[in-house]
Amino acid sequence: MAQDTYRIRLEAPGLAARIRPGQFVMVRPTLGLDPLLGRPFALYEVVRGEGGEPWAIDLAYLVMGRGTARLAGARSGDRLPLWGPLGNGFGLPRAGVRRVAMVAGGIGQTPFVALARWWMGQERYGLGPQPGEPWVEAVRLYYGVRTAGYLAGLEDFEAAGVEVRLATNDGSAGYRGYVTELLERDLESGWRPDHLVGCGPEPMLRALQGVAGRLGLSCDLSLENHMACGFGACFSCVAPIRAEDGTVDLKRVCVEGPVFDAARVEWESGEAARGL
């Protein structure tokens, strides 16, 4: 798809029929036990047959280590251990939300193709309603990467009718600087969404949380905490989340998340917990 970025299609009809945008799967890149742990990958898209039946899922990922490097070497016909769908994904948009800004950093754009198509009434996921009248009128993607070579899947967003705004650290495409700076610049110029959604590195999510708080905008964050099991047994992916009564507790991102209301995420508590 782009520099060090791949898309893989996995035949899994039962899973494809149940998974929703924002949920993820765990994939082990070989049938053996090396590497032992699976890697989490967000749903990129559900693939349907000629009759409309879901039969496969597409995942998009950046090669960052031994596991993803092996996955990039997979070939048609290979069999891979796969478990899911996992986690709590996105729900339908809140009442009154008509314009949405999706903010992605690095490989964080991967959940947003399906989410945009779902909210714009183009596709059905899981056991949700059939496509029909869109829940939102417009989706704008703010997508930031280090350099233009890492921009992946732009044509998929454009085909879905999503307006794309780009930022690169080196200025090789779009705005030169951080993607949240580009968002704030557009907000200052008068454009205003009803809701924000973010997925990407923690500094970007912190910045987006701050933007939402200052402007009084609702915001959902899809956290990218490291995971080992994917189903809550190992507690390696915990994040500090504030409850309605104001107390803060460590929640398993793989089970209670990965999608959380931005106003409930407590970043600094998480740093302290991980440092114990």
Per-residue pLDDT tens over the stretch 135-161: 899 999 999 999 999 999 999 999 999
Round the average pLDDT of the chain to a whole number and report it: 91
- Position 10 pLDDT exceeds 60: yes
| Residues 107, 75 within the same domain | no
Edge-first strand listing for the sheet containing 24-27: 5-11, 54-62, 39-48, 24-27, 82-86
* Domain edge (last residue) among 41, 64, 86: 86
Q: Are residues 58 and 99 in the same domain?
A: no
Q: 120 and 214: one domain? A: yes
In percent, the amount of the chain with pLDDT more than 90 equals 78
pLDDT at residue 271, as a whole number: 41
Query: Is the Cβ–Cβ distance between 85 and 24 less than 8 Å?
Result: yes
Q: Provide the pLDDT for residue 66.
A: 86
How far apart are alpha carbons 244 and 122 in whole angstroms? 34
* Residue span of the structural domain in which 209 resides: 94-222
Say if residue 32's pLDDT is above 60. yes
Q: Give CA–CA dist 8/56, Å, rounded.
A: 10
Three-state SS for 170? coil
Q: What band does 162 get if pLDDT is binned at 50, 70 and 90?
A: very high
Q: Look at residues 82, 78, 10 and name the one whose alpha carbon lies nearest to residue 44.
A: 10
Are 235 and 274 in the same domain? yes
Q: What is the pLDDT of residues 77-117, one digit of tens each?
A: 999 999 999 999 999 898 899 999 999 999 999 999 999 99
Average pLDDT over residues 209-231: 91
CA–CA separation, 53 and 43 (whole Å): 17
pLDDT at 132: 65
Q: How many domains does the chain have?
A: 3
Residue 51 in tokens: 């009759």
pTM of the model: 0.92
Residue with tokens 């302290």: 272
Whether 269 shows a pLDDT value over 60: the answer reads no
* pLDDT for the residue 131: 60
Q: Is the pLDDT of residue 274 over 60?
A: no
Does the pLDDT value for residue 216 go beyond 70? yes
Assign residue 236 the CATH number of its domain.
2.10.240.10
Residue 173 to residue 189: CA distance in whole angstroms: 21
Omega within 30 of 0 (cis) for the link into 40? no
C-alpha distances out from residue 31 to 8, 27, 81, 82, Å: 16, 10, 6, 10
